[in-house]
């Protein structure tokens, strides 16, 4: 089902929403014959994506700001947005096969690996990384599962998995848990004493520096974290 968007709602319903899902913007007008033939085709095709793409419609006669932003000269005009930016588009009424091809580029059908990652159990995740080594989502999910289980050797297995993909905030968190163990539910005096002790070693001892960083990582949003990051920077630089 298409959502009717106005100048007032465009920022929220299109720009902000496109950071979560691909948005197709159909610029049309009631007097436009090709618009009326294209509209049902787009709705069918987007509906078949099962939520991977969302459709919004803009009446250009009633929403001049949006029309101006897209520099509309002819309708129907269709634009695809991701992360607040136009990534593709076309003008005119295309046949259904071409509309399908256009939409498929925005949200390819889920692969077997995608479905295995969605299942989320260990057997499925192991199968996913076997089928596609280095798949970010599968690798991160499996590593996280291994670390949360805390069995002997699982931390090393998780680190080996994470070494195969690019570093991110999430991989750093999981890697820190793999090295440190269970994250503290509260930041206690023992943890702070250890950080203070490590501060004297971080400049010359790489192992101490990694331990210090790992402790800060597993502490999450604790208020002490930025304080100790500043202390670390002062020692290193």
Report the chain's mean pLDDT, rounded to a whole number: 90
pLDDT exceeds 80 at position 226: yes
Which pLDDT score, from 0 to 100, does residue 175 have? 92
As given in the structure block, the two tokens for residue 58 are 């803009």
Which pLDDT score, from 0 to 100, does residue 183 have? 57
For residues 111-120, average pLDDT: 92
d(CA 194, CA 175): 19
Do 52 and 107 form a contact (C-beta atoms < 8 A)?
yes
Give pTM, 2 decimals.
Answer: 0.56
- The fold for domain 3-106 equals Glutaredoxin (3.40.30)
Dihedral-angle region of residue 71 (phi above 0 means left; psi in -120 to 50 means alpha; beta otherwise): left
pLDDT exceeds 90 at position 135: yes
Catalytic center residues: 32, 35
Percentage of the chain modeled with pLDDT above 90: 58
d(CA 106, CA 21): 10
d(CA 187, CA 133): 36
Burial state string for 14-28 with b = 16 or more CB within 10 A and e = fewer than 16: beebbeeebbbbbbb
Neighbours of 169 (CB within 10 A): 8
As given in the structure block, the two tokens for residue 59 are 């009446």
Strands (E), the chain: 3-4, 22-28, 53-59, 77-82, 85-91
The 10s digit of each residue's pLDDT in 62-89 is: 999 998 999 988 999 999 999 999 999 9
Which residue ranges make up each domain of the chain?
A: 3-106, 112-180, 189-236
pLDDT exceeds 60 at position 57: yes
Question: How far is CA 144 from each of CA 34, 93, 131, rounded to the nearest angstrom?
Answer: 51, 47, 19
Band of residue 152 on the pLDDT scale cut at 50, 70, 90: low
Band of residue 123 on the pLDDT scale cut at 50, 70, 90: very high
Band of residue 200 on the pLDDT scale cut at 50, 70, 90: confident
């Amino acid at each position: 089902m298409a959502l009717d968007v106005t100048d007032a709602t465009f920022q929220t319903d299109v720009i902000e929403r496109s950071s979560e899902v691909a948005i197709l913007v159909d610029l049309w007008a009631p007097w436009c014959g090709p618009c009326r033939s294209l509209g049902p085709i787009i709705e069918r095709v987007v509906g078949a994506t099962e939520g991977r793409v969302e459709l919004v419609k803009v009446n250009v006669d009633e929403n001049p700001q949006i029309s101006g932003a897209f520099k509309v000269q002819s309708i129907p005009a269709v634009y695809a947005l991701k992360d607040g930016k136009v990534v593709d588009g076309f003008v005119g009424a295309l046949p259904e096969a071409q509309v399908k091809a256009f939409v498929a580029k925005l949200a390819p059908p889920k692969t077997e690996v995608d479905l295995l990652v969605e299942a989320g159990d260990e057997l499925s995740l192991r199968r996913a990384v076997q089928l596609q080594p280095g798949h970010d989502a599968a690798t991160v999910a499996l590593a996280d599962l291994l670390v949360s289980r805390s069995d002997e050797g699982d931390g090393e297995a998780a680190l080996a998995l994470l070494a195969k993909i690019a570093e991110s905030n999430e991989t750093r968190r999981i890697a820190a848990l793999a090295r440190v163990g269970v994250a503290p539910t509260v930041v206690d005096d023992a943890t702070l004493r250890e950080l203070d002790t490590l501060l004297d070693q971080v400049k010359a001892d790489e192992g101490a520096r990694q331990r210090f960083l790992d402790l800060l990582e597993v502490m999450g949003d604790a208020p002490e974290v930025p304080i100790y990051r500043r202390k670390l920077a002062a020692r290193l630089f």
